[in-house]
């Protein structure tokens, strides 16, 4: 992807049509999940589920993902990135549509996480394979920045709109709308070429990259990312809802954070390509730690709003730089597909004991104490982003040079 101005002031944003189609699909999916996905913890809370059960719902999702990897690796290696993403859409549609019937069918509580896990397994694997193969070698940061810019701009109104629909018509309507949009997201997938999954991918190759010593710093960093994101996706929205007491305000504040962070992420992409990726990771990580600690004092709507905007801006810029390292490593290794799947497995393996620990704390602590303890834990875990700087792409490339040649 290249960005330039002509002599006539014309701004050409995209040059990589394959990545454009991928962005379009991602934009629709982000909008659909922005409408409903961020409100799922609130939905469960409003149904009267205790905190430990809400956390258990997401623990089931991660356990289902680990199980799905074991079951579906033989299927994945016979598909390509396009088919993987296509296969994911029905599963996530069933997940959102099924949430409507949770009050009438309590057993869905234990079934729906498996559909969400299958969707994540297929879509995330297919998406990363496609982006790794389609993105320009010298512009990974810019294309990642553009991805976050587009999805943020497309998605920023979704939480506000979702909150408004929930407040006026209930959760059922927003889950139905999200399901329809997710089915619509299939269409752009037909407009880019396929990238096959490596036929050599196996459970053994996936675990090889998960345990390899040369990749250990990035693996530790990835585990930290997986755990920190869970606090932000489950605990923080419930805390915001408790403080705000209004789902429309909650959606509006989340939308404001998405809008404020969108431009920053695009700029950070250029900085990453200019060789300052490690500095971005360092400073964004340290500031993100501070923002998590400051959430202890976010006891008013204004403080919640300011903290949400700051958090999204920092975490988005951090993930752009961090993801740039991710894709550079994927392109360096002999089997990018095995590496990508190893990262997806890593995130869910790391979440299982972490969510179990949060469940334990939620049972034995008062709500306010649990919230503040979770924020402190997320802040401490955010330090692990820094460990990614200890992984050097050139060293990894040298280490695997013989394996790639063979």
- Each residue's pLDDT tens digit, 226-245: 999 999 999 999 999 999 88
Distance CA 24, CA 21 (A): 5
Long-range pairs of 73-76 with CB within 8 A, sequence gap ≥ 24: 73/201, 73/202, 73/203, 73/206, 73/341, 76/121, 76/122, 76/125, 76/197, 76/201, 76/341
SS3 196: strand
Share of the chain above pLDDT 70, in %: 80
| pLDDT attached to residue 99 | 94
pTM: 0.86
Q: What is the mean pLDDT of residues 361-382?
A: 96
| pLDDT attached to residue 8 | 28
CB 269 within 8 A of CB 320: yes
For 290-337, the pLDDT digits (tens) are 999 999 998 888 899 889 888 887 887 787 788 878 888 887 888 888
CB 45 within 8 A of CB 166: no
SS3 334: coil
| pLDDT attached to residue 7 | 33
CB 263 within 8 A of CB 153: no
Q: What is the mean pLDDT of residues 277-298?
A: 90
Share of the chain above pLDDT 90, in %: 35
* Residues forming beta bridges with residue 80, ordered by sequence position: 196
| pLDDT attached to residue 18 | 54
Length in residues, the chain? 406
- Confidence band for 264, pLDDT divided at 50, 70 and 90: low
| pLDDT attached to residue 386 | 92
Handedness of CA 182, 184, 188, 189 (dihedral sign): positive
The highest-confidence range among 196-200, 311-315, 386-390, by mean pLDDT, is: 386-390
More confident residue, 267 or 283: 283
- The answer, yes or no, to whether residue 11 has pLDDT greater than 60, is no
Q: What is the mean pLDDT of residues 151-160?
A: 73
For 71-102, the pLDDT digits (tens) are 888 888 887 777 888 888 899 999 999 999 99
276 C-beta neighbours (distance < 10 Å), count: 16
- The answer, yes or no, to whether residue 163 has pLDDT greater than 90, is no
| pLDDT attached to residue 222 | 94
SS3 401: helix
The highest-confidence range among 22-31, 120-129, 358-367, by mean pLDDT, is: 358-367
- The answer, yes or no, to whether residue 355 has pLDDT greater than 90, is yes
| pLDDT attached to residue 271 | 56
- The answer, yes or no, to whether residue 405 has pLDDT greater than 50, is no
Q: Which of 34-43, 137-146, 256-265 has the lowest mean pLDDT?
A: 137-146
- The answer, yes or no, to whether residue 50 has pLDDT greater than 90, is yes
More confident residue, 5 or 252: 252
- Confidence band for 145, pLDDT divided at 50, 70 and 90: low
- Confidence band for 144, pLDDT divided at 50, 70 and 90: low
- Confidence band for 2, pLDDT divided at 50, 70 and 90: very low
Could you give the domains of the chain?
4-405 (1.20.1250.20)
Helices assigned H by DSSP within 185-246 = 203-211, 216-230, 236-244
């Amino acid at each position: 992807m290249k960005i330039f101005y002509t002599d006539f002031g014309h701004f050409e944003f995209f040059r990589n049509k394959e990545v454009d189609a991928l962005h379009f699909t991602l934009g629709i999916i982000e909008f659909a999940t922005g409408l409903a996905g961020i409100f799922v913890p609130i939905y469960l809370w409003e149904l009267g589920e205790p905190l430990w059960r809400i956390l258990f719902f997401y623990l089931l999702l991660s356990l289902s993902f680990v199980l799905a990897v074991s079951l579906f690796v033989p299927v994945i290696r016979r598909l390509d990135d396009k088919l993987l993403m296509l296969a994911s859409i029905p599963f996530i549609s069933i997940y959102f549509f099924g949430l409507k019937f949770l009050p009438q069918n309590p057993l869905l509580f234990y079934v729906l996480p498996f559909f969400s896990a299958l969707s994540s397994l297929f879509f995330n694997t297919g998406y990363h394979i496609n982006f790794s193969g389609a993105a320009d070698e010298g512009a990974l940061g810019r294309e990642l920045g553009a991805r976050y810019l587009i999805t943020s701009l497309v998605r920023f109104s979704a939480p506000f709109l979702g909150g408004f629909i929930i407040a006026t018509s209930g959760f059922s309507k927003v889950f139905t709308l999200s399901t329809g949009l997710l089915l619509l997201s299939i269409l752009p997938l037909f407009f880019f070429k396929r990238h096959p999954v490596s036929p050599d991918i196996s459970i053994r190759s996936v675990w090889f990259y998960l345990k390899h010593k040369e990749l250990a710093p990035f693996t530790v960093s990835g585990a930290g990312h997986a755990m920190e994101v869970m606090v932000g996706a489950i605990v923080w929205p419930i805390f915001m809802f408790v403080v705000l007491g209004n789902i429309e305000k909650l959606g509006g504040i989340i939308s404001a954070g998405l809008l404020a962070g969108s431009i920053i992420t695009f700029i950070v992409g250029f900085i990453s390509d200019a060789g300052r990726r490690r500095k971005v990771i360092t400073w964004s990580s340290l500031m993100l730690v501070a923002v998590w600690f400051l959430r202890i004092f976010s006891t008013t709507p204004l403080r919640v709003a300011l903290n949400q905007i700051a958090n999204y801006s920092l975490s988005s810029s951090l993930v752009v730089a961090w993801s740039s390292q991710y894709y550079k490593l994927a392109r360096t290794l002999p089997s990018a597909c095995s590496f990508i799947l190893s990262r997806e497995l890593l995130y869910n393996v790391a979440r299982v004991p972490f969510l179990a620990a949060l469940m334990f704390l939620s049972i034995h602590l008062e709500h306010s104490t649990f919230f503040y303890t979770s924020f402190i834990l997320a802040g401490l875990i955010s330090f692990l982003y820094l460990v990614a700087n200890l992984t050097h792409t050139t060293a990894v490339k040298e280490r695997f040079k013989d394996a790639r040649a063979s």
